[in-house]
Amino acid sequence: MSDSIIQKAKNAKAATRELVKLNTDKKNFALECIAKQLDKNRLLIKERNKLDIAYATEKGMSTALIDRLKLTDARIDGMIKVLHDVITLKDPVGEITGMNTLPNGLKVGQMRMPLGVIGIIFESRPNVCIEVASLTIKSANGVVLKGGSDAINSNICITNLIKSGLKDAGLPENAVEIVESTDRESVKELLKLKDYIDVIIPRGGLNLIRFVEENSVIPVIRHDQGICHTYIDEFANKEMAVSIAYNAKVQRPGVCNSMETLLVHEKIAKEILPMLKSEYDKANVEIRGCDKTCTLLPGIKKATSEDWDTEYLDLILSIKTVSSIDEAIDHINTHSSHHSDAIVSENYTMGMKFINEVDSAACYINASTRFTDGNEFGLGAEMGISNQKLHVRGPMGLRELTSSKYIIFGNGQIRN
């Protein structure tokens, strides 16, 4: 096993013992220092990012995936904004809840505390480094970052700037570490370090998630693929439905909260499907449909059984015409990755039935699935979006990076 990876994990563990001693102002000051480092090193960030873009282009990656990698001034501004947003959030560490006085006079409650050291394994999107570090620093957790080869130059550059910001603030630089190796073996090594790492968070494609789950001896919080659906009900406002379905697919197709499958009630399909196709054609969206959809939209590709279980992350969309809301819900619960799913309907009963029966981390009525994002939900940033049910589901923010311990106040009580 690599001594370097073990040492990084040890360093992060040691740093957590210092972070937990800090008050909120000191942690916020560190985030301010990191923001300043990003701002004054824009050219360096973009230069390193160009190396990753060139590599991705040479590999023949899709336009949508390259878009995930790219760092512009606007996206650097976005990273700086994330840091400032997290500064404004309430610090959950040390919060005491549920304090009760027992008949024997003991006062028993719970205090929120950091999880410890987080190992996060992610693909593409170098801004993940900032989102993760902002949350782990404020919640007094250490973190070991393991990005993919696609963004390695950007990731190393940003992590070094994070470390510089921590140093400027007088905080331990080792609170944020990065594994610079890009091979799969280094991931496997990281997953064995249970003495130093408390939880693993994988963010990426299905193959990465499965690899982590099969090889980790550390508890895993799975941030799985996003096979997201929008169901247009028979009671939908047609103009609203077209706007939502277009946004969910086209606005940024290479991210996990974009729509991959559109379900349309047969009573509205004849009228709305041509309206949708007209809009999708303008954005060069490839449509694959069920038999009923192909009949209503001649010339589109016929969907295969694999299409219903595919996260395209591209301008490709599967469409199925359904006979009822029950068929739509059954399809979603069968084929969804339990990430984000939406209904467009003016009928209250149908909307409530949908969000009650669809088994996903985020369920929408009359809105685009593109909003499933920590920042959009008011969390400042996110570690990722958990598809599982323990211990967190959906966007994972500051509070989700803590657990609780019991605290007991006595005045001499002994147990008989």
- The 3 state secondary structure assigned to 256-289 is CCCEEEEEEEHHHHHHHHHHHHHHHHHCCCEEEE
Q: What is the pLDDT of residue 310?
A: 96
Indicate the class that CATH gives domain 228-371: alpha beta
pLDDT in tens, 227-243: 999 999 999 999 999 99
* Domain regions of the chain by residue span: 3-223+383-409, 228-371
Q: Are the folds of 3-223+383-409 and 228-371 the same?
A: no
Q: What is the pLDDT of residue 389?
A: 84
**CATH number at 3-223+383-409:** 3.40.605.10
5 touches 189 (CB < 8 A):
yes
Q: How far is it, in rounded angstroms, from Cα 209 to Cα 221?
A: 10
Q: What is the pLDDT of residue 125?
A: 87
Within its chain, how far is the Cα of 106 from the centroid?
Answer: 41
Residues 6+ apart with CB under 8 A from 181: 2, 4, 5
Q: What is the pLDDT of residue 1?
A: 57
Bridge partner list, 405? 111
Q: How far is it, in rounded angstroms, from Cα 154 to Cα 69?
A: 9
Q: Which of 157, 209, 197, 194 lies closest to 178 in space, CA to CA?
A: 157
pLDDT lower than 70: segments of the chain: 1-2
Residue with tokens 């919060």: 95
Instruction: Give me the helix-helix angle, 42-59 and 152-168, nearest 10°.
Output: 160
Q: What is the pLDDT of residue 224?
A: 78
20 touches 93 (CB < 8 A):
yes
Q: What is the pLDDT of residue 183?
A: 87
